[in-house]
Chain A
Amino acid sequence: MNLVWKLLRQHISVPQFIGFFFANLFGMLIVLFGFQFYHDVLPVFTADDSFMKADYLIISKKIGTASTISGRTNTFDNSEIDDLSGQKFVTKAGKFTSTEYKVDANMGVNGTNVLNSELFFESVPDNFVDVPLKDWHYKAGEKVVPIILPRTYITMYNFGFAQSHSLPKISDGLVGMIDFNIFIHGNGHQEHYKGKVIGFSSRLNTILVPQAFMDWSNNYYAPNSKSDPNRLIVEVGNPADENITKYIDKKGYEVEDDKLDAEKTTYFLKMMVSMVMVVGLVISILSFYILMLSIYLLVQKNSSKLENLLLIGYSPGKVAWPYQLLTICLNISVLIIAWIILYFIRGYYMGVIETLFPEIEDGSMVPAVVVGFILFLVVTVMNQFAIRRKIMRIWWRKD
């Protein structure tokens, strides 16, 4: 056995090191958990709606008791639309067009019928929809219609239906599994179309079809009816512009602000995770002190041995190395065990998250690995310096 180690391990206090080990383990684990959890959960709130351009607002008129009784309309007429388009903060504005005819549809997955209903479609001008043109394309008379479904449908299906009927859960990548049959009748025509679901939108609570299909079908199945839009879609340059709020308040409009909700939730998530991480960091720092104190104590108790080693020709580096190695080993084992425990914890909570939000990406442990490694490096480097410094104090006989 290494004689230097045999000498220097004298007075090592096992309880102290066990104390450090667990304190550091918990601290490290809490920090890594906080960071990893934040990264895993954040996409749930910030997932961009890949089908809609980012900075747009959906504006509708307030529906209150008074307007219901007075029969005041909640649709926008052309002058109102022009007025809105004329505002400085508006980059472009478009209106929602609804179907004027009756639609029956059924939705199935893997041949099992999930939903049968009479419903309606809406459309917005194509330049508000951010999908490759070849997917979002309709030519008059075609029997296949591209569709974007509200995400709530799929959530409902995944939770309410799929589980009880042992059907597969559907995520964004598996939209092709949905069969969507559309039956339209009006103006003496009756036809069957196939809906091709190209994705889900969490920001539009409506079934969206291409404007081209809407225009054509309204004309074909209900040539004589025409109604004003009750919702407008507006792209704005700067969503934080206060003129927007002023204008909307003045006109008595409403903005669907699900985006704001997500931001609030993200904010609280950030705050909670930061608090958790701070607690973890404090524990880590305290454990670092425990380690430094026990090493200092150890060096102090062994100072005459260390001095003798230096005097018979050992270099300070060689004498410091056993203690440095000790801290490196301790820190590495703490890091690895923290990673392993985190792996299992993450496996558990990701299972829950994936059931709740099947569309969420799997992610990876890279954030925890990186943060853990950085923490390990910082702590270890500081340990090395502190030990080296302590040994040099013995060399210069300062203690």
Chain B
Amino acid sequence: MKTINLNSVLPQVFAQRSDLNSEIWKQEVTFEKGHLYLIEADSGMGKSTFCSYIIGYRHDYSGNVTFDTQVTADFKVRDWVEVRKSHISHLFQELRLFPELSAFENVEIKNKITGFKSREQIVEWFDMLGIGDKLDAKIGRMSFGQQQRVAMIRALVQPFDFILADEPISHLDDTNSQIMGEIMMTEAQRQGAGVIVTSIGKHMDLSYEKTYRL
């Protein structure tokens, strides 16, 4: 997958709004593999909605989302599974971790689908992000900031053409966001992937090639 294209996409809830002044909604937007994008928005402008359209979680919009030349509205269940498995990785704003599992298990349950990363690599990331001692701790007992780091690691243990990071550093201090940004960019560059980061203000300090306002 080389490009993600939004062709006058508009969430149905915004259909009645006339004061819409967005660089994404109702516009022609193309995200290309290998590039770094930032999407900034005030809350309520549909950041997470944007992400959920791209990974096929929601379909309540008009217009077209296309991957390369394929219109995603025609995708079957197994096409979406394939997209989520090996083309688009998503770091959810609400994290979507499993509180019953330990931090490592939360990463491993995803890594198992493709067997993409070794245990050593995962442990190294844990150490880099300062949660190396939390490998076996239950997610439910960790702070949101720690959980955010686990979720980031989980987002990296799969092959992807694009990574969608939805407010990745909302609860992190600058040092950790710095490290997290580096890890993400290293992995994305290694895979030659595109990176799309969203933010409501505080954002990772990266050299974004293009910034869109939602």
Instruction: Tell me the A residues contacting B by CB distance below 8 Å.
Output: 3-4, 6-7, 10, 305, 308-309, 311-316, 392, 395, 397
Contact = CB atoms under 8 A, between A and B. Distances in A.
B84 A7 contact: no
B55 A311 contact: yes
Contacts, number: 50
B100 A6 contact: yes
B92 to A, nearest CB: 7
B113 interface: yes
Nearest to B58: A397
Contacts of B57: 311, 397
Interface stretch (B29-37, B103-111, B119-127): B103-111
Given A3-B108, A7-B109, A312 B100 contact: no
Nearest to B158: A313
B98 A311 contact: no
Given A311-B96, A312-B154, A315-B78, A3 B112 contact: yes
Contacts of B78: 315
A3 B101 contact: yes
Given A4-B109, A312-B110, A395 B77 contact: yes
Given A3-B112, A4-B109, A308-B98, A315 B81 contact: yes
A330 to B, nearest CB: 23
A303 to B, nearest CB: 13
B99 to A, nearest CB: 9
B26 interface: no
A183 to B, nearest CB: 90
Contacts of A4: 109
B148 to A, nearest CB: 16
Nearest to A314: B113
Contacts of B47: none
The 4 closest A-B pairs by CB, nearest first: A313-B85, A313-B84, A3-B109, A308-B96
State the main secondary structure of chain A at its contact with B: helix
A311 B90 contact: yes
Given A3-B109, A7-B98, A308-B98, 14 more contacts: A3-B101, A3-B108, A3-B112, A6-B101, A7-B100, A7-B109, A305-B98, A311-B55, A311-B84, A311-B92, A312-B96, A312-B109, A314-B81, A316-B81
Interface of B: 55, 57-58, 77-78, 81, 84-86, 90, 92, 96-98, 100-101, 105, 108-110, 112-114, 154, 158
Taking each of B96, B97, B108, which has the highest tally of chain A beta carbons within 10 Å of its own beta carbon? B96
A272 B55 CA distance: 60
Contacts of A10: 100
B105 to A, nearest CB: 6
Contacts of B77: 315-316, 392, 395
25 contacts: A3-B108, A6-B100, A6-B101, A6-B105, A7-B98, A7-B109, A10-B100, A311-B84, A311-B90, A311-B92, A311-B96, A312-B84, A312-B109, A312-B154, A313-B81, A313-B86, A313-B110, A313-B158, A314-B113, A315-B77, A315-B81, A316-B77, A316-B81, A395-B77, A397-B58
A164 to B, nearest CB: 72
A305 B106 CA distance: 12
A316 B77 CA distance: 8
A255 to B, nearest CB: 71
A305 B85 CA distance: 17
B100 to A, nearest CB: 6
B144 to A, nearest CB: 17
Q: Chain B CB within 10 Å — which of A315, A316, A395 has the most?
A: A315
A99 B11 CA distance: 105
A309 to B, nearest CB: 8
A313 B154 CA distance: 12
A47 to B, nearest CB: 58
A316 B85 CA distance: 13
Nearest to B98: A7
Nearest to B90: A311
Nearest to A395: B77
Contacts of A312: 84, 96, 109-110, 113, 154
A7 B101 CA distance: 7
Contacts of B98: 7, 305, 308
A337 B92 CA distance: 47
A50 B128 CA distance: 90
Nearest to A304: B96
Contacts of B158: 313
A119 B43 CA distance: 111
A397 B96 CA distance: 16
A3 B105 contact: yes
A315 B96 CA distance: 17
A313 B116 CA distance: 13
Contacts of A6: 100-101, 105
Nearest to B52: A311
